[in-house]
Homo-oligomer: A and B are copies of this chain.
Amino acid sequence: MSEPLVAVDWGTTSLRAALLDGDGRVLAEHASAQGILAVPPGQFASVLAAACAQWERPAGQLVLMSGMVGSRQGWQEAPYCPCPAGFAEVAAQLAWVQDAPPSLRVAIAPGLSCEQDGVPDVMRGEEVQVFGALDLLGLDGGLFVLPGTHSKWVRVQGRRIAHFATFMTGEVYALLRKHSILARTMAQADGALDTQAFTRGVEHARAAGNLLHAAFSARTLSLFGRIQEAALPSYLSGLVIGEELRSQSLDAAQGPVVVIGSDALTARYELALQCLGVRAQTVGPQATWRGLWSIAQTLEQA
């Protein structure tokens, strides 16, 4: 049995922390809206101390953090670790925080970078979720999807992240949903997911092969009365997620497909993948705690 760990997922708009025992079990959790954009300069140490003040901690307690806290806008920049990268590479490149609160040893996991067609790609925090999912599911490889504002598709081979790609799916959905001409015929509230309209969107995105064209169908189908206005947000969601899926190689021979995220979002991706005949596994946000815990184990063993 190893030492307890404080694991922190510190993003742009939220702070989540957990106290884990030596076996990686979650003993307590804390969440607040104190994302890095809400922390005044010089106040990161006190915000962290307050976040885990209610937990009994030994002197020299290890705190491992991931997410945008390691970006230029965060507490301390943790330079990106280039792919391929696994537990060992990330553990070796932890950024140890200089102005940690008294009696805490605080480190930030580096984000990952990779390169394709002469263009870099980056992520911060998702790599830790992938590591956690690997451990929770007992996998060595596969294709990992982390849906969100900027979705990540991560290819893992031999417990190392070989490559990944970002898709601005959530952000483009929100822009089309709220600010484009398509918004004019859509209700303000999203309502429950209309699965039929959603899968219709997924399939049309694949047939059209280009979201700039496919998105216009949300307007024309409405204009010709061929879709209910209430179903349009679900249809548009299917179009953008379908567009994201269109670019993935989902060959089963390359290993399982795993979706990591909240229930609502993973359910949409499971459904979209089903349209393509792919059965995905899912893992919830606890993947972060498991990932940080596994990095801490690697650190102990190093």
Contacts and interface: CB of A to CB of B under 8 A. Distances in A.
A172 B212 contact: yes
A240 B216 contact: no
Given A175-B179, A179-B175, A247-B210, A168 B119 contact: no
Contact of A207 (B117, B175, B176, B246): B117
Interface stretch (A86-94, A219-227, A293-301): A219-227
A66 interface: no
Contact of A220 (B122, B179, B213): B122
The contact size tier of chain A is: 35 or more
A204 interface: yes
A262 interface: no
For A171, A210, A212, A213, the residue with the greatest tally of chain B CB atoms inside 10 Å of its CB is A212
A208 B122 contact: no
Given A209-B247, A212-B244, A213-B167, A120 B175 contact: no
A208 B210 CA distance: 12
A200 to B, nearest CB: 9
Contact of A171 (B117, B121, B165, B180): B180
A212 B211 contact: yes
B167 A119 contact: no
